[in-house]
């Protein structure tokens, strides 16, 4: 059975930064309250011409570069997002087209902030089954589009960004060792975005009632998160035959510093084993774990051979954890330049659209 390794990683955040002081100009809040209660100092906000797919493409190309893998070699793309570009088509298909992943299947996965762990686990299982060799997993968000900037309970929390992993088959032991995924739909009401789906399609009334904004019972989500984070970490470690003593790093979902602190206490682990960057990005939902991982790798914190646990929770309710033995890129002689495929992808996409147009025109004439 092949092993599934994380061989490439990339992140991208939009440039504009929104500080706590900026938010204090919009709602009745202040920098001190936000820092004390959440640990957040600032977040990045997408420009008008930036979308989940465009952020994801930047992160994905970087991940492919690290993995030294051409987009044309990808078999599967899974995009996890809490703020997908559309209900359909899948954001994953837009990414597939823009990076030129000519032979990849592509789909979106909806498990809110736990989505990246779920998606990585799905890709790892497909690899271990032998049915695919190379997968791209993405978490990407422009949650700022769904935030009610008049609601101080939620608007202080969220930020935009994307992170991506390349997952590849290898005979070398290690890589993704175990994962657990959980859900509890009885808690569905505590974190929602109701508008635009089949129950509340967009109408004047639905927009007027603010159904297209994130609604949250913060206290309820906080209690749930502190209950499940430590337990899920332990479960995943047990499945991998490891204990907390074997772990070098925990990369938690970056929602609130206090939630991370409580999880660390539960596991009796020092906080300096936790990768924390919620102060600079806020909660980027599915993107938070890969963004934190990429930063930790770039700082030289996570190294080859380290045991790393990813742990997350989110709307649904969903939660999960994954244990990884970090290995890194698979050594290769030839060098590929995934960036160059972007131009090829653009031309290919234009050509396919033109062919579709001509085919449509000709078939109308034949009728």
Task: Give the residue numbers annotated as catalytic, written as ranges.
Answer: 113, 253, 283
Neighbour tally for 217: CB within 10 Å? 15
How far is the C-alpha of 8 from the C-alpha of 106, rounded, in Å?
18
Q: Which residues are within 8 A (CB) of 102 and not within 5 positions of it... i.e. 6 or more apart?
A: 71, 72, 348
Query: Closest distance between ligand UT7 and the C-beta of residue 100, in Å?
Result: 33
Comparing CB distances to ligand UT7, the nearer of 55 and 229 is 229
How far is the C-alpha of 136 from the C-alpha of 64, rounded, in Å?
8
Which residue, judged by CB position, is nearest to ligand UT7 in the bound state? 218
Comparing CB distances to ligand UT7, the nearer of 57 and 216 is 216
- Burial of residue 210 (number of CB atoms within 10 Å: 0-12, 13-18, 19+): middle
- Give the residue among 58, 98, 101 at the shortest CA–CA distance from 77: 101
Comparing CB distances to ligand UT7, the nearer of 143 and 167 is 143
Comparing CB distances to ligand UT7, the nearer of 191 and 237 is 191
Furthest CA-CA distance within the chain: 73
Query: Closest distance between ligand UT7 and the C-beta of residue 33, in Å?
Result: 4
Comparing CB distances to ligand UT7, the nearer of 126 and 225 is 225
Contact 168, 127 (CB under 8 A): yes
List C-alpha distances in Å: 264 to 73, 178, 269, 352.
Answer: 39, 20, 5, 51
Residues that bind ligand UT7 (CB under 6 A): 29, 33, 37-38, 113, 152-153, 156, 216, 218-219, 221-222, 225, 255-256, 283, 314
Contact 192, 200 (CB under 8 A): no
Query: Closest distance between ligand UT7 and the C-beta of residue 133, in Å?
Result: 32
Query: Closest distance between ligand UT7 and the C-beta of residue 126, in Å?
Result: 26
Query: Is the link from the previous residue into 129 a cis peptide, with omega within 30 of 0?
Result: no
Query: Closest distance between ligand UT7 and the C-beta of residue 225, in Å?
Result: 6
Query: Closest distance between ligand UT7 and the C-beta of residue 276, in Å?
Result: 14
Task: Give me the residues paired with residue 324 across strands.
Answer: 176, 308
- Burial of residue 290 (number of CB atoms within 10 Å: 0-12, 13-18, 19+): buried
Contact 316, 111 (CB under 8 A): yes
Comparing CB distances to ligand UT7, the nearer of 214 and 240 is 214
């Amino acid at each position: 059975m092949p092993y599934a390794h994380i061989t490439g990683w990339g992140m991208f955040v939009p440039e504009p930064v929104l500080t706590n002081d900026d938010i204090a100009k919009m709602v009745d809040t202040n920098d001190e309250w936000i820092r004390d209660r959440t640990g957040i100092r600032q977040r990045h906000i997408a420009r008008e011409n930036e979308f989940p797919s465009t952020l994801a493409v930047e992160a994905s190309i970087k991940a492919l570069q690290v993995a030294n893998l051409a987009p044309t070699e990808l078999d599967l793309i899974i995009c996890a997002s809490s703020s997908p570009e559309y209900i359909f088509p899948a954001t994953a298909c837009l990414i597939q087209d823009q990076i030129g992943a000519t032979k990849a299947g592509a789909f979106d996965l909806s498990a809110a902030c736990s989505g990246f762990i779920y998606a990585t686990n799905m890709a790892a299982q497909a690899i271990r089954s032998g049915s695919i060799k190379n997968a791209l997993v993405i978490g990407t968000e422009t949650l700022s589009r769904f935030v009610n900037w008049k609601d101080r309970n939620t608007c202080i929390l969220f930020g935009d960004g994307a992170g991506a992993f390349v997952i590849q088959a290898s005979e070398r032991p290690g890589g993704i060792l175990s994962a657990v995924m959980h859900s509890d739909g009885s808690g569905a009401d505590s974190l929602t975005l109701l508008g635009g789906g089949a129950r509340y399609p967009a109408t004047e009334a639905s927009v007027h009632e603010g159904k297209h904004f994130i609604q949250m019972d913060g206290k309820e989500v906080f209690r749930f998160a502190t209950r499940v984070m430590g337990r899920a970490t332990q479960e995943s470690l047990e499945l991998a035959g490891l204990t907390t003593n074997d772990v070098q790093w925990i990369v938690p979902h970056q929602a609130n510093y206090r939630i991370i602190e409580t999880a660390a206490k539960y596991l009796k682990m020092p906080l300096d084993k936790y990768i924390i960057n919620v102060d600079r990005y806020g909660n980027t939902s599915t993107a938070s774990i890969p963004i934190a991982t990429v930063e930790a790798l770039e700082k030289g914190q996570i190294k080859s051979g380290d045991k790393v646990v990813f742990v997350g929770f989110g709307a649904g309710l969903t939660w999960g954890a994954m244990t990884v033995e970090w290995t890194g890129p698979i050594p290769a002689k030839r060098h590929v330049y995934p960036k160059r495929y972007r131009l090829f992808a653009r031309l290919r996409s234009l050509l396919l659209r033109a062919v579709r147009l001509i085919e449509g025109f000709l078939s109308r004439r034949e009728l």
